[in-house]
Structure 1
Amino acid sequence: MVRRWSIPLAALALGSLALTGPAMAAGNAHPAAAPKAHSAFMPGGLFKPAPGTHPAKVGGHVIDYSNNWSGYAVTGSTFTTATASWTQNAITCTSSDGETDMSPWVGIDGFNSSTVEQTGSSGDCDGSTPDYYAWYEMYPANVIIINKTVEPGDKFTGTVTHTSGTKYSLVLKDITQGWTNTVTKSLKADDNSAEAVMEMAADHLTKFGTDPFTGFTVDGQPIGSYSGSPYTIDQMEIQSGSTLCDSTSSLSGNDNFTTTWLNAC
């Protein structure tokens, strides 16, 4: 993913005006509340390899080091649908932390292509205030904030499906809050990867914990079943310089894994 860089306040103000309405609401506010501007960074974009690192083959999969993605991806064919479940972590923010972010999501493309079709949730720190929200993106178009309540500890299931032609269905269910967001969008894409990712969307990370992903399936099959030619299973971990920011566990039951944050980055 390409991370969102800081932009001028004037541009943020214009963006906020353009997005006021049903598509833009505070992540942890009730839908009737006034929209709240999120921080200058947002999730979304492409897999970004960590400079100076090289993929390493371990067993039947490859470990890749990234500046922004941890989790699992599969490549080697075209894929129609990806589904995964996760829990949105609670985060604790202080004024000295700066901008930090943890964004779990599921999607198609982006590992080695120029588009991503994805939906997920986020917990951000910008100063001392935590911000929780849900979103989807048809990259390179901008992230769209979902106008629904999100709280720490919420359990999510997301599904992204290429339905026909250029059309994609993006479904995100907050099982804890009891809402479902479904959108159909159009994009010309390659469908050459599918992934479940914990993303670091901010310039650095100071808050970390563990986050389990369960039921990660691609075209109805557990991610771990895509072993052998022509497929490659990529296990991704975030690294900044020489510091390993997090680790991604081995697959359990062929479709479950956990990302664990190790160091502030």
Structure 2
Amino acid sequence: MVKLWSVPLAGLVLGSLALTGPVTGAAHHAAAPTAAAARTAGAAGAAGSRAFVPGGLYEPAPGTHPRAVGGHVLNYSNNWSGYAVTGGTFSTATASWTQNAISCTSGDGETDMSPWVGIDGFSSSTVEQTGSSGDCDGSSPDYYAWYEMYPANVIIINKTVKPGDQFTGTVTHTSGTKYTLTLKDLTQGWTNSVTKSLSADDSSAEAVMEMAADNLTKFGTDPFSGFTVDGQPVGSFTGSGYTIEQMEIENGSTLCDSTSSLADNENFTTTWLNAC
């Protein structure tokens, strides 16, 4: 979502000032160069030379409208596919996924697929999230893990990630403003757990395959399993004002990927369809 820009130092200062409060999803995806530079420059210490970073708010695709499908609400987005639940206050989200391989060719431009689990961000100004990523910048793939307490910058986890790795992530609002974000790479055998503070609404919980660059290409399928919220399968939140939000990424009239129906109320797959 956020790209590197070459701007004067004064522009970076102005961008930093602009990011002192929450930033809308649209601003996160297509911010003015100064704001984008400030965010990416802030993450650069951890992200190294990466040209973009994952994380941030849900962005509805322009001109689209949610519609009811099979008891869920289907949403078309600029950047999120997967599932969320809204209509309550949520304290824990857990999901497992595979970090799929991403195919990189120099003609595709900058591409990305970033699976993660988190709380907030669907209709609020914060996101507490942790996940993994496969990025392309030219013909070289880049795999890594990360967490973010948006609107603070993404933090890259200094651990090895390879395509095909199996992950389990959990984000928990522990008490007050404190959140614990735990990511386990079951294939590589490492765990990263941090506790951070943020004032947030806890108004949604989600498992997402995110497009964090300008393009989404060639990632195949990405299976998610065991998506539970407050210890219950996400598909069980069917009453008392809850809404299960199903999401797919769309660019203009092109559907970039699809999200399957929930199996056993907690498992689903996102599938790449078209270059976007």
> What TM-score do you get using the length of structure 2 for normalisation?
0.86
Deviation at 1:156, TM superposition (A): 0.2
Which residue, out of 155, 159, 165, partners 1:144? 155
Deviation at 1:246, TM superposition (A): 0.5
**Aligned mates of 1:57, 1:218 — CA distance in 2:** 21
**Aligned mates of 1:8, 1:51 — CA distance in 2:** 28
Partner residue, 1:184:
195
The one-letter code sitting in structure 1 at the alignment partner of 2:251 is S
Deviation at 1:207, TM superposition (A): 2.0
Paired residues in the alignment total: 248
The one-letter code sitting in structure 2 at the alignment partner of 1:207 is K
Structure 1 residues 133 and 190 mapped into 2: Cα distance closer, same or farther (>3 Å)? Answer: same
Deviation at 1:96, TM superposition (A): 1.6
Partner residue, 1:249:
260
Deviation at 1:205, TM superposition (A): 1.6
Residue 69 (structure 1) aligned with residue 53 (structure 2): no
What is the correspondence of 1:216-227 to structure 2 with a 5 Å cutoff? Answer: 216-227=227-238
What is the correspondence of 1:171-250 to structure 2 with a 5 Å cutoff? Answer: 171-250=182-261
**Aligned mates of 2:240, 2:49 — CA distance in 1:** 43
Deviation at 1:102, TM superposition (A): 0.2
Alignment gaps of 5+ in structure 2: 13-36
Report the 3-state secondary structure (helix = DSSP H, G, I; strand = E; otherwise coil) of the residue aligned with 1:96.
helix
Structure 1 residues 131 and 87 mapped into 2: Cα distance closer, same or farther (>3 Å)? Answer: same
Deviation at 1:228, TM superposition (A): 2.2
Task: Compare 204-213 and 138-147 and name the one that shifted more.
Answer: 204-213
**Aligned mates of 2:151, 2:42 — CA distance in 1:** 19
> Contact 1:60/1:228 (CA < 8 Å) preserved in 2?
no
Partner residue, 2:141:
130
**Aligned mates of 1:231, 1:121 — CA distance in 2:** 28
What percent identity do the matched residue pairs reach? 79
Partner residue, 2:271:
260
Deviation at 1:15, TM superposition (A): 3.9
**Aligned mates of 2:275, 2:258 — CA distance in 1:** 13
Which residue, out of 65, 72, 75, partners 1:54? 65
Aligned-residue CA RMSD in angstroms?
1.9
**Aligned mates of 1:38, 1:181 — CA distance in 2:** 22
The one-letter code sitting in structure 1 at the alignment partner of 2:60 is P
The one-letter code sitting in structure 2 at the alignment partner of 1:8 is S
> What TM-score do you get using the length of structure 1 for normalisation?
0.90
Deviation at 1:143, TM superposition (A): 0.3
Partner residue, 1:113:
124
Note the alpha carbon deviations across 1:171-230, whole angstroms, 9 max, x for none: 000000000000000000000000000000101122231000000000000001001231
Deviation at 1:8, TM superposition (A): 2.1
Structure 1 residues 262 and 18 mapped into 2: Cα distance closer, same or farther (>3 Å)? Answer: closer
**Aligned mates of 2:225, 2:44 — CA distance in 1:** 36
> Contact 1:7/1:40 (CA < 8 Å) preserved in 2?
no
Structure 1 residues 56 and 18 mapped into 2: Cα distance closer, same or farther (>3 Å)? Answer: closer
**Aligned mates of 2:2, 2:272 — CA distance in 1:** 21
Partner residue, 1:98:
109
**Aligned mates of 1:53, 1:97 — CA distance in 2:** 26
Deviation at 1:17, TM superposition (A): 9.8
Partner residue, 1:7:
5
Note the alpha carbon deviations across 1:94-136, whole angstroms, 9 max, x for none: 2222100000000000000000000000000001110000000
Note the alpha carbon deviations across 1:223-257, whole angstroms, 9 max, x for none: 01001231000000000000000110000011000
Partner residue, 1:33:
none
Note the alpha carbon deviations across 1:45-79, whole angstroms, 9 max, x for none: 00000000000011211000000000000000000
The one-letter code sitting in structure 2 at the alignment partner of 1:147 is N
**Aligned mates of 1:214, 1:51 — CA distance in 2:** 30
Which residue, out of 41, 44, 54, partners 1:43? 54
